[in-house]
Amino acid sequence: MVSTGLVIVSLLTGYGVYFNIYNKINQEEIDFDEWGDRPSRVDGVMNIMIIGSDVRSGDNAAYGDAEGERPDTLAIAHISPEKKAATVVNIPRDSIVDQPACEPKGDKPGQQAHTAMIGEAMNNGGVECLWKTVESLTDVHIDHFVSVDFTGFKEMVDALGGVTMCIPEPIQDKNAGHLDLQAGEQKLDGEEALGYVRSRKGQGDGSDLSRISRQQDFMGAMLKTVMSGDVLSSPTTLNSFLGSVADSLTTDDGLTVSTMGDIAVAMREVDLDDIEFITVPNGPHPADPNRVAWSEPKASELWQQVASDEIGGGSKDEGGGSGGGGGGEEEKVDPSQVSVEVLNGTSIPGLADEVSTGLTTRGFQPAGTGNPTGQVPPETTVYYGPGQEAAAKAVAKTFTNGTTEENAALADTLQVVVSQDWDGFKASSGGGGGSGGGGGSGIDSKSASDAKVACG
């Protein structure tokens, strides 16, 4: 969530307004003296730790009474001026990780080295301990951090007059501010948007991973809203938004006006298509399936790409695409015109909902979920009716493994049967196919321009 504000402030620094809001930003001193050797830094590259804080004190008391402060959202924003690209790597809050020892910080008691959910580092030692933990886990040099709380995020959305989203199915979640949304295209105000990005139990399979996917989609929609002509051409709306960003942000004291200017220079050349969202490769933790373990070696390979600036902007112009099939021109497919029903042919609960959500975030139209009747194919298969082969291939290309087969009994709606060979989505295979982003990481990702705003 906070990456949206960071990116937007960076993009708008050229308007000369950042200097007017800088003094409103809260800053925190970070002491690196006792950290020992830190990861090496790549010249010209900026890695920023972005935090959506779950603090419940002060103006945030209305959102519960949990003690302490942990990252409700945690990610690394990798900005690469040379590639004219930005990559936001989300770290699931349910990740069980090895954490280093941290000294006490202010009212934080500090911690001994131990294994726990990643948010415990922030609760025990503040942002400084979380920063140290992330660097030790990823071997990525973090240059700065930016944090925003619930109230700040809500105010950002309200300053824009709301953000338009496509809500695939009705949502009711009493644990997310009594969220109650109807299906369809609608403009979310700040309170609704906060509930939407925080909601877990009321959507999909109820996991933090599916919630991350929705947050990424919302960030893309918010960026689209801010970068629309209406917002940029309205001084009142622009100043209100930037003021709400400033009031809600906390950064390290090294993130100066000059540094923000450097980020702005880098970000001016970055299009929405070149802002990618990725989640660290992961799976259920062996000791607790409700928690997350990073998948190796894929996670380490991803972080190595971030650390060495080998991610983002690499394969979008290479034309290879991410799907199978031979050469030659392929028919262009508009995902928003493709309706897909997903059937779960496995014993994994909620998998059809998960796959349907993944397709929706890639622009396809959801047409319900369920279980297949009769024999389940050995491979995950996209069944299509007459004249729908190109659409079926576009869907299949989003999968790591998938095939297509004609079924004359079907009309315009495609039918996906997820089989035991299911292995997730491909990298940046955004519906129409062929973008292949992620710098060749082979890890599921999507660009900000993929955000599902309109339902039709």
pLDDT at 208: 74
Nearest to 121 by CA among 76, 68, 161, 65: 68
Judge if 294 and 354 occupy the same domain. Answer: no
Residue 383 makes CB contacts below 8 A (sequence gap 6+) with 392, 404, 405, 406, 407, 410, 414, 415, 416, 417
> How many Å apart are CA 137 and CA 60, to the nearest integer?
30
Q: What pLDDT is attached to residue 229?
A: 59
CA distance 250 to 254: 12
Examine residue 143 and state whether it is found in any structural domain, yes or no. Answer: yes
Same domain for 125 and 242, yes or no, is yes
Which residue carries 């082979």 as its tokens? Answer: 442
Average pLDDT, the chain: 79
Mode of pairing for the β-strands spanning 26-28 and 249-252 = parallel
Q: Is there a single domain that holds both residue 38 and residue 144?
A: yes
Residue 90 lies in a domain: yes
What's the pLDDT at 184? 87
Residues 294 and 349 in one domain: no
Give domain status of residue 177, yes or no. no
131-142 CB burial, b ≥16 within 10 A, e <16? bbbbbbbbebbb
CA distance 206 to 350: 9
Based on the fold, state whether residues 292 and 251 are members of the same structural domain: yes
Q: Residue 313 corresponds to which tokens in the numbers above?
A: 């902007």
The verdict on 301 and 339 lying in the same domain is no
Q: Residue 62: how many CB atoms within 10 A of its CB?
A: 10
328 inside domain: no
CB-based burial label for 307 (10 Å; 0-12, 13-18, 19+): buried
Tell whether 300 and 339 lie within a shared domain. Answer: no
Give the structural domain span for 9.
Answer: 2-153+223-307
Q: What is the pLDDT of residue 434?
A: 31
Q: What predicted TM-score, i.e. pTM, was given to this entire model? A: 0.69
For strands 71-80 and 249-252, give the pairing: unpaired
Residue 17's pLDDT is: 53
298 and 349 assigned to the same domain: no
Peptide bond into 366 cis (omega under 30): no
Pairing of strands 144-148, 46-53: parallel
Residue 79, φ and ψ in degrees, nearest 5 = -110, 120
C-alpha 345/C-alpha 340 separation (Å) is 16
Domain-embedded: residue 190: no
Report residues of the chain scoring pLDDT below 50. 1, 13-15, 55-66, 315-329, 428-442
Residues 244 and 117 in one domain: yes
* Residue 105 and residue 42 share a domain: yes
Residue 318 CB partners (closer than 8 Å, separation 6+):
436
Instruction: Classify residue 448: in a domain, yes or no.
Output: no
Does 134 share its domain with 262?
yes
Q: What's the CATH number where 238 sits?
A: 3.30.420.590
How many independent structural domains does the chain possess?
2
Instruction: Judge if 303 and 370 occupy the same domain.
Output: no
Residue 87 in any domain: the answer is: yes
CATH of the domain at 382: 3.30.70
| Predicted pLDDT of residue 25 | 83
- Domain contains 447: no
The type of residue at 7 is V
